């Protein structure tokens, strides 16, 4: 009886023990599951941290590259500005030189025109002096005694003489050079030299005009190249 009673008393305790053991097993399993979740969370956190580190390093590299690119762009911009400023200076100097050349061409052309005009005037005077000298020579040739058949045995001027006297051997009246003509004939060589000088002056003027014309053409070509 007592034994049965003791067995009856032990059953609740045994049941409670089984229940406690079951609870402990359940708790252990839950602890393992929880640890597994913690491990997975830590793993994810570590991966996220690694990813963040990688992203931060990539961002740092990108920032460094951006700084380098910015510095290079600023340097290139500065160089481009210097090149542009230099090109503008060259252009301004070329335009100034072009204007100076155009002004020089105008000045030289004006000088050439004046030389050419003066040379033409000298040429006209030289031509007139030569014509006058030729006319005087013809008169003197006619006045010579040897050129008049009846006076050919005489010497010098006969028709008329230097004094304007018409000798009897003359076949007809002949104009005698005046004193002014005589004075003009005496420096005849000087007039001929003047004629030569006039012709030379005209030639030099024409050459100058050709040279300055070439300079003007070169200046025009230079202007076209600059345009």
What's residue 8's pLDDT?
A: 60
Q: Is residue 34 a part of any domain in this protein?
A: yes
**Count of C-beta atoms within a 10 Å radius of residue 136:** 19
What's residue 206's pLDDT?
A: 55
63 and 174 share one domain: no
212 and 138 share one domain: yes
Give CA–CA dist 206/119, Å, rounded: 9
Given a contact cutoff of 8 angstroms between Cβ atoms, the answer to whether 190 and 179 are in contact is no
What's residue 107's pLDDT?
A: 94
What's residue 54's pLDDT?
A: 92
Q: Is residue 90 a part of any domain in this protein?
A: no
Specify the DSSP class assigned to residue 175.
P
Q: Is residue 92 a part of any domain in this protein?
A: no
What's residue 19's pLDDT?
A: 84
Give CA–CA dist 132/188, Å, rounded: 10
64 and 114 share one domain: no
Total count of domains within the chain: 2
Last residue of one domain, picked from the residues 49, 80, 111? 80
Specify the DSSP class assigned to residue 171.
S
Give CA–CA dist 184/190, Å, rounded: 10
29 and 126 share one domain: no
Last residue of one domain, picked from the residues 80, 112, 139? 80
**Residue 115 structural domain:** 103-226
Q: Is residue 214 a part of any domain in this protein?
A: yes
75 and 172 share one domain: no
Q: Bridge partners of 144? A: 157
Residue burial 50-78, b: 16+ Cβ < 10 Å; e: rest: eeeeeeeeeeeeeeeeeeeeeeeeeeeee
What's residue 1's pLDDT?
A: 54
115 and 216 share one domain: yes
Q: Bridge partners of 157? A: 144
What's residue 89's pLDDT?
A: 94
Low-confidence ranges of the chain (pLDDT < 70): 1-10, 172-227
121 and 72 share one domain: no
139 and 208 share one domain: yes
Give CA–CA dist 125/197, Å, rounded: 11
What's residue 193's pLDDT?
A: 44
Collapsing DSSP states into helix, strand and coil, what is residue 133?
helix
């Amino acid at each position: 009886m007592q034994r049965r009673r003791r067995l009856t008393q032990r059953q609740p305790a045994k049941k409670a023990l089984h229940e406690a053991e079951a609870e402990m097993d359940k708790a252990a399993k839950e602890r393992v599951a929880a640890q597994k979740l913690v491990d997975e969370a830590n793993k994810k956190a570590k991966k996220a941290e690694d990813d963040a580190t990688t992203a931060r390093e990539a961002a740092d590299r990108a920032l460094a590259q951006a700084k380098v690119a910015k510095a290079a762009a600023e340097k290139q911009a500065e160089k481009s500005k210097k090149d542009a400023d230099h090109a503008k200076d060259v252009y301004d100097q070329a335009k100034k030189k072009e204007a100076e050349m155009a002004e020089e061409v105008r000045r030289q052309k004006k000088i050439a025109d004046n030389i050419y005009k003066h040379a033409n005037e000298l040429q006209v005077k030289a031509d007139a002096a030569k014509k006058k000298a030729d006319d005087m020579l013809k008169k003197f040739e006619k006045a010579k005694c040897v050129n008049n058949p009846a006076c050919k045995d005489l010497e010098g001027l006969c028709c008329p003489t230097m004094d304007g006297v018409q000798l009897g051997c003359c076949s007809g009246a002949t104009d005698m050079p005046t004193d002014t003509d005589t004075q003009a004939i005496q420096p005849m060589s000087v007039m001929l030299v003047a004629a030569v000088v006039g012709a030379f002056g005209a030639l030099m003027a024409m050459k100058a005009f050709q040279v300055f014309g070439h300079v003007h053409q070169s200046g025009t070509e230079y202007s076209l190249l600059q345009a």
